[in-house]
Amino acid sequence: MTNRLEDLLSTLQAAATLEDLQAILETLRDHYGVEHTVYHWVNSVGERYGAGTYSAEWVDRYLEKDYLRMDPVIFVCFQRFTPVSWKELDWSSKPAREMWQDALDHGLGNQGYTIPIRGPSGQFALFTLNASLSDEDWAQFIDENARDLMILGHEFNKKALEFEQWGEDGSVPALSPRELASMGCLARGMSRAQAAAELNISEHTLRVYIESSRHKLGAMNTTHAVARALSAGIIII
């Protein structure tokens, strides 16, 4: 079992395209004997990226019906650090129950396990296994494989980040100390006058820093500049 995992991880580390991830997920599904294995990257607007063994029909339907906004799995994973087994969730709301039935009709199994994974700048992804098993068998399966699945999920996310070149490209412009301090003050809610007082400089000088930060960050306005600085991780609230 462990050797098989090592093989899969080696393959994963050699993956170069999204199709490679797709193939690995299929291998993984067969290896674990489950219905589906899915890695997908989630953001507020919709699915930005993903691979898995769900049927194209189900993926289309999921997007079309905007299930992303009512899916308890996503909702709960967004607020949790630890993985979740689907049966633990609250499926009582009407849209959730409709979605669940719809999922079963589209070939999903009755059990699921989803691992939330977070990367830099709010990046968020999910690694999911779906199966048809009794509650006891599923609990045992998860108990036995939870750790391997976490490793796998993280390796998938690592690859996805490489593909997208998220943050790793060092294209983040360097701000001077005063510029960083200025951005920091603004990000913490200070007005220009307050920030200038905090930094013991005139408001005009502060403005010069904000302007130069804006230009370096390629931002349209102060809010944009602060957002980019935060997103790039060069300031922290």
Partner DNA sequence: TTAAAACTCCCCATAAATAGCGAGGTCGCG
Partner DNA sequence: CGCGACCTCGCTATTTATGGGGAGTTTTAA
| Residue in 161, 197, 199, 208 binding a copy of itself, rule: CB under 8 A | 161
Segment 153 to 212, residues that bind DNA, using CB under 7 A: 174, 176-179, 191-193, 199-202, 204-205, 207-212
Tokens of 94: 């009407």
**Mask for 2-41, x = binds a copy of itself (CB under 8 A):** ----------------------------------------
Sign of torsion, CA 161 165 170 175? negative
Q: Is there binding between residue 184 and a copy of itself (CB under 8 A)? A: yes
Secondary structure of residue 98 in the 3-state scheme: helix
Q: Is there binding between residue 221 and a copy of itself (CB under 8 A)? A: yes
Question: Which lies closer to a copy of itself via its Cβ, residue 133 or residue 190?
Answer: 190
Segment 92 to 111, residues that bind a copy of itself, using CB under 8 A: none
Question: Which lies closer to DNA via its Cβ, residue 23 or residue 197?
Answer: 197
Q: Which of 63, 27, 37 is nearest to 48 (CA)?
A: 63
Tokens of 72: 């308890």
Measured CA to CA, the distance from residue 175 to residue 100 in angstroms comes to 49
Question: Which lies closer to a copy of itself via its Cβ, residue 78 or residue 91?
Answer: 78
Measured CA to CA, the distance from residue 218 to residue 197 in angstroms comes to 26
Tokens of 211: 């302007």
Q: Which of 53, 24, 42, 47 is nearest to 119 (CA)?
A: 42
Shortest reach from residue 205's CB to DNA, in Å: 3
* Binding footprint of DNA on the chain (CB under 7 A): 93, 174, 176-179, 191-193, 199-202, 204-205, 207-212, 214, 221-223
